[in-house]
Amino acid sequence: MEMFILVYICFAVKFNLVLSLSPEDYPTLGSKKAPRLLPKNILKTVFDYQEAQNYTVFLYKQDHGEVYAGGTNFVLRLNTTSFQIIEKHDLNTTGSLECEEDPCQNVITVIEELNDGVFVCGTNGHRPQCWTLPSSPNSSPQSSDGSEISPVLYSQNFLSLAVEGDLYAAAPFDRNGRSLQFRRTAGRRTRVSMYNNWVSEPTFIGSSWVKRENDPDNEKIYVFFREKNSDTNPEADHWISRVARVCKVDEGGSKRFFQNMWTTFIKARLVCGFPEESLYLNRLQDIYVLHDRNWNNTRVYAIFTSNWNSTAVCIYTIGMIEDVFEKSTFKGYNKTIPTPRPGHCIKNSRTIPLATVSVVKDHPEMAGWVHSVHYNTPFYVSSYNYTKITVDQVRGADNSVYNVLLLATDSGKIHKVLEAGPKPVIILETQPLSRSTILSIKLDSKKRKLVVGFPDSIKTMDLQRCEYGSSCQDCVLAQDPYCSWSTDMFQCTASALGNIQNVMTGNPNICPSRDSKLRHRREAQTSPFAHNVSLGVPFYLSCPVDSYHAEYRWKNGHHHSPCLQMRSQCLHLIPNMTQDDYGTYECESQEQGYSKVVTAYLLKAQDIPEPRMEEHSLNNASQPVARPWLTLGLLSAALQLWHL
Ligand SMILES: *[C@@H]1O[C@H](CO)[C@@H](O)[C@H](O)[C@H]1NC(C)=O
Ligand SMILES: *[C@@H]1O[C@H](CO)[C@@H](O)[C@H](O)[C@H]1NC(C)=O
Ligand SMILES: *[C@@H]1O[C@H](CO)[C@@H](O)[C@H](O)[C@H]1NC(C)=O
Ligand SMILES: *[C@@H]1O[C@H](CO)[C@@H](O)[C@H](O)[C@H]1NC(C)=O
Ligand SMILES: *[C@@H]1O[C@H](CO)[C@@H](O)[C@H](O)[C@H]1NC(C)=O
Ligand SMILES: *[C@@H]1O[C@H](CO)[C@@H](O)[C@H](O)[C@H]1NC(C)=O
Ligand SMILES: *[C@@H]1O[C@H](CO)[C@@H](O)[C@H](O)[C@H]1NC(C)=O
Ligand SMILES: *[C@@H]1O[C@H](CO)[C@@H](O)[C@H](O)[C@H]1NC(C)=O
Ligand SMILES: *[C@@H]1O[C@H](CO)[C@@H](O)[C@H](O)[C@H]1NC(C)=O
């Protein structure tokens, strides 16, 4: 028997070589940093485009239950209940222009809610144009110049933000990307721009208006971007990430000085990494601002990438950002800081003293850095390449509010991640049908849906899907604040007060005892899959993985053996069937002290070998299989390795 185990382990090691062929598509069993579940068909297609889109933009109007989706030459208005088209606006290239390129397209890049209307801009054959969509379908949209609001090419960097009827935007002026800067471009207030020296080769990532209920004149617009690092030390990263702010009431300087320029623009370094080791992720990729009634507690979730192999999520509060802007010294400026302090909001910005505006002009950077919450370290470092983020708030069965991050990867997957205090729990990962890029994501918090824009379709992800299994333990282990165990309905269902749930730890001990463990065991024992196997043949048993955070093992009488992971299956290999190998096998999973029998087999002796060559996909988690190894190409490759 010892010999057998040795051979087995030897085999296992070699087998792993084969298994590691596609590690990124399936998480490694037992790794808490991996997604716990990979549910199937969780994304539902609600709309197919006639032609694949290169760029899409969404506007979500929560109050109306509508989503606007902009593509090439059109804007769709969709009902978020039925996802039927309410209206389609064809916005073909306008004006008598000749496009330099064929076809002459109008890629919609901006959709904002402005003055109760919907304001749309597009590339319009390299001459950006904007339209105010009519409220009645019969009239045609009013159009206006869109330069500095929409980029000339959809692949260029740009952003837009509507605030109280004013439009803020960053977009380059021409095809070469010149004159890319953050401006107030349209609306009631004065047009205001940035001073040229303030940023260097910027990439704007996001912007947000943070309201202050009792202090509207002090409200700021925050801009998140990355730019070229002025530190040219060869060890320094080429890029550096920033948060900047301007006052909403800023209308530029006086006629004599800084007219139509921001008089309150100041910026600071946004740090994400490990300061103690001087290890930083410097490339801001996306942000999401989770507003709070108390502006100080408004949270900024940011994805960063590095020139090493990971991405990270860092979290900041507006309070922490304001702390730096209000208290730090100005980099490179060592005289007394003038009053009013540079960056302070003054209702009539044209009256701000020259001394104050001069500091803004020449030294807009704070000496202090903005560090992230959780002791200055990232909330979460990941080997997944995250590209987009949004955050939902959910009330759990205990009436507490939990934050759930929804992260899109560059390979078309979405991760649902619980913010369990300072540590993440990856509740699940969606499985894309193909490696399709995710162009945009939009949260519908009321309907508990994530709207996902793919090149070929719009899909939705039901955030309140509670298919976690048929026991209280399975439901609690999921740590999904949207779902909890109802003792009345005896199922895992939408969170309601009084249901059973343990979001923070997922410990299933709170479930009524004497419940599913016994039931599961009984079920498995009453119906093990029976197989007739001949002596001297290799054979394997498989068990579907239903949680990548669990540990799996095989039990055969008093023998325990490890489980060999192959994608979404956990295998037991019998190199050469002997008399001792007959009997009952149970695949047992264990997670947080809760163990259950996932599947069971009974191997019986058979005299005549049966040469079965069935076509079965190992991906089929719904159906455990037990069969001779050699029926599968991969396994036979493994066997060959073993014989070497
Ligand atoms: C997407 O881009 C490709 C290549 O530039 C182009 O051929 C195609 O027409 C574009 N699709 C749309 C819908 O604009
Ligand atoms: C959206 O669709 C639902 C169901 O079809 C319907 O009840 C609702 O009135 C529609 N809403 C709008 C704004 O059209
Ligand atoms: C980078 O990837 C390597 C190999 O996959 C891994 O060992 C290392 O831990 C990763 N680095 C970080 C910081 O995650
Ligand atoms: C705002 O947040 C900062 C940083 O977290 C904190 O120092 C400050 O006391 C908070 N202020 C208020 C009014 O809550
Ligand atoms: C202030 O900065 C200037 C120029 O960088 C320098 O020459 C001067 O010594 C500094 N003064 C103080 C008090 O640090
Ligand atoms: C991550 O995704 C972005 C966006 O698709 C891409 O530009 C970048 O090269 C990717 N990084 C890695 C390390 O794959
Ligand atoms: C196994 O063998 C028994 C008798 O030897 C037979 O009755 C039974 O049908 C066989 N089962 C399978 C699954 O082949
Ligand atoms: C299986 O074991 C039997 C008896 O020990 C032996 O005769 C046979 O050669 C073995 N088969 C393989 C493929 O190793
Ligand atoms: C998975 O198993 C089910 C149930 O036996 C079967 O209908 C389906 O075709 C299988 N799918 C694959 C990909 O093998």
Q: Is residue 435 scored above 80 in pLDDT?
A: no
d(CA 37, CA 140): 49
Enumerate helices (H) and strands (E) in the chain, giving the number of each: 6, 41
d(CA 567, CA 28): 9
Given this model, what pLDDT does residue 520 score? 54
The minimum-distance atom of ligand 3 relative to the CA of 383 is 14
Q: Which residues line ligand 7 (CB under 6 A)?
A: 532, 606
Q: Is residue 168 scored above 70 in pLDDT?
A: yes
Within a domain: 410: no
Q: Residue 556 in contact with residue 583, Cβ under 8 Å? A: yes
Q: Which of 483, 499, 521 is the last residue of a domain?
A: 521
E strand intervals along 229-282: 239-247, 266-270, 273-274, 279-280
Are 8 and 91 members of one domain?
no
Place of tokens 């590690």: 23
Place of tokens 């401006």: 183
Per the DSSP assignment, residues forming a β-bridge with 204 are 225
CATH number at residue 490: 3.30.1680.10
* pLDDT (mean) for 592-620: 68
Place of tokens 């069971």: 600
CA of 82, nearest ligand number: 2
| Residues 223-268 pLDDT 10s | 999 999 988 888 888 999 999 999 999 999 999 999 999 999 999 9
Are 491 and 614 members of one domain?
no
The minimum-distance atom of ligand 1 relative to the CA of 51 is 13
Are 169 and 57 members of one domain?
yes
Closest CA to ligand 4's atom 12: 296
| Residues 178-225 pLDDT 10s | 899 999 999 999 999 999 999 999 999 999 999 999 999 999 999 999
CATH number at residue 636: 2.60.40.10
Are 265 and 295 members of one domain?
yes
| Residues 513-530 pLDDT 10s | 755 555 555 454 557 888
Q: Which residues line ligand 9 (CB under 6 A)?
A: 617, 619-620, 622-623
Are 149 and 118 members of one domain?
yes
Kindly report whether the peptide bond that precedes residue 103 is cis, defined as omega within 30 degrees of 0.
Answer: yes
Q: Residue 625 in contact with residue 6, Cβ under 8 Å? A: no
Q: Which of 385, 409, 428 is the last residue of a domain?
A: 385
**CA dihedral sign, ordered 188, 194, 199, 203:** positive
| Residues 259-293 pLDDT 10s | 999 999 999 999 999 999 989 999 999 999 999 99
Task: Label residue 621 by pLDDT band (50, 70, 90).
Answer: very low
Q: Residue 458 in contact with residue 379, Cβ under 8 Å? A: no
Task: Label residue 44 by pLDDT band (50, 70, 90).
Answer: very high
Given this model, what pLDDT does residue 231 score? 85
DSSP label of 293: S
Give me the domain span that covers residue 494: 472-521
Task: Label residue 484 by pLDDT band (50, 70, 90).
Answer: very high
Q: What value, to the nearest 5°, has the Cα angle with vertex 588 and ends 585 and 592?
A: 170
Q: Which two tokens stand for residue 46?
A: 């609600």
Given this model, what pLDDT does residue 77 score? 94
**CA dihedral sign, ordered 218, 222, 228, 230:** positive
Closest CA to 408 of 285, 315, 281: 285
* H or E segment and range at residue 262: none
- 462 alpha carbon – ligand 2 mean position (Å): 18
Given this model, what pLDDT does residue 624 score? 54
Closest CA to 386 of 346, 416, 354: 416
pTM for the whole structure: 0.87
Q: Is residue 1 scored above 90 in pLDDT?
A: no
| Residues present in the chain in total | 644
Given this model, what pLDDT does residue 314 score? 97
Contacts of 505 (CB under 8 A, 6+ apart): 420, 479, 592
Q: What is the 3-state secondary structure (H, E, C) of 587-622?
A: EEEEECCEEEEEEEEEEEECCCCCCCCCCCCCCCCC
CATH number at residue 157: 2.130.10.10
Is the shortest distance between the CB of 410 and ligand 6 below 6 Å?
yes
Given this model, what pLDDT does residue 566 score? 87
Closest CA to ligand 9's atom 11: 620
The number of domains in the chain is 3
d(CA 174, CA 265): 24
Question: Within its chain, how far is the Cα of 533 from the centroid?
Answer: 47
Task: Label residue 641 by pLDDT band (50, 70, 90).
Answer: very low
* pLDDT (mean) for 537-561: 92
Are 91 and 23 members of one domain?
no
Question: Which segment of 95-104, 429-438, 442-451 scores lowest on mean pLDDT?
Answer: 95-104
